[in-house]
């Protein structure tokens, strides 16, 4: 039986896709680690979702987040191994999220104020996933601002995904949710 541990990370480094190693404290590691965290939280949301369609949609999103993580974990010096003009995260992925947001908003109009999460277990976990995706987005922006070579679709994808998760949480709430009153 193969072992799960390799001991290669005992020195505080981790391997990159297409070779190379970086510190586990590297901005890229922080970014793709946060996307991995989002995948795990979405797994809990999927387990709590009210219907098969939402569970299937969340599974598809989890799989896409693996693509986002791979894009962030790719060694920039070895990206030439990808076909010319291709990237892992694409504009088409962003467009699919936008279309899904629009269709959900048509079915579930958004509240006019800030929503207090927790109307149902499924909606609460989707709101948690949204906040983790927002953190991943901030980590990716920090990576970009550090001068790292970036796929511009990655930030756009994470931004739209957090919007989609907000709308999905409202759809999974099971009814009216408490809203914050304006001061």
The reply to whether the predicted model has a pTM over 0.85 is: yes
Alpha carbons 160 and 148: distance in angstroms, whole number:
22
Given a contact cutoff of 8 angstroms between Cβ atoms, the answer to whether 41 and 132 are in contact is yes
C-alpha–C-alpha distance, residues 17 and 31, integer Å: 14
Q: Which domains, ranges and CATH numbers included, belong to the chain?
A: 21-171 (1.20.1200.10)
For residue range 18-64, what is the model confidence (pLDDT) as tens digits?
Answer: 667 776 668 888 999 999 999 999 999 999 998 999 999 999 999 99
Q: At what angle do helices 52-73 and 91-107 cross, to 10 degrees?
A: 150
pLDDT in tens, 134-148: 999 999 999 999 998
């Amino acid at each position: 039986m193969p072992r799960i541990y390799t001991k290669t990370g005992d020195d505080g480094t981790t391997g990159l896709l297409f070779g190379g190693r970086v510190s586990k404290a590297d901005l890229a590691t922080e970014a793709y680690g946060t996307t991995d965290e989002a995948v795990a939280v979405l797994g809990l949301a999927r387990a709590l979702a009210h219907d098969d369609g939402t569970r299937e949609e969340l599974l598809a999103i989890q799989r896409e987040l693996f693509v986002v993580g791979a894009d962030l974990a790719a060694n920039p010096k070895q990206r030439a191994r990808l076909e010319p003009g291709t990237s892992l995260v694409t504009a088409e992925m962003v467009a699919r999220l936008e279309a899904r947001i629009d269709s959900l908003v048509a079915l579930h109009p958004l509240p006019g104020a800030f929503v207090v999460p927790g109307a149902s277990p499924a909606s609460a976990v989707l709101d948690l996933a949204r906040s983790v995706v927002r953190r991943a987005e901030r980590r990716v922006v920090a990576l970009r601002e550090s001068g790292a070579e970036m796929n511009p679709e990655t930030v756009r994808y994470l931004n739209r995904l957090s919007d989609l998760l907000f709308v999905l949480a409202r759809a999974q709430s099971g009814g009216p949710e408490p809203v914050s009153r304006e001061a």
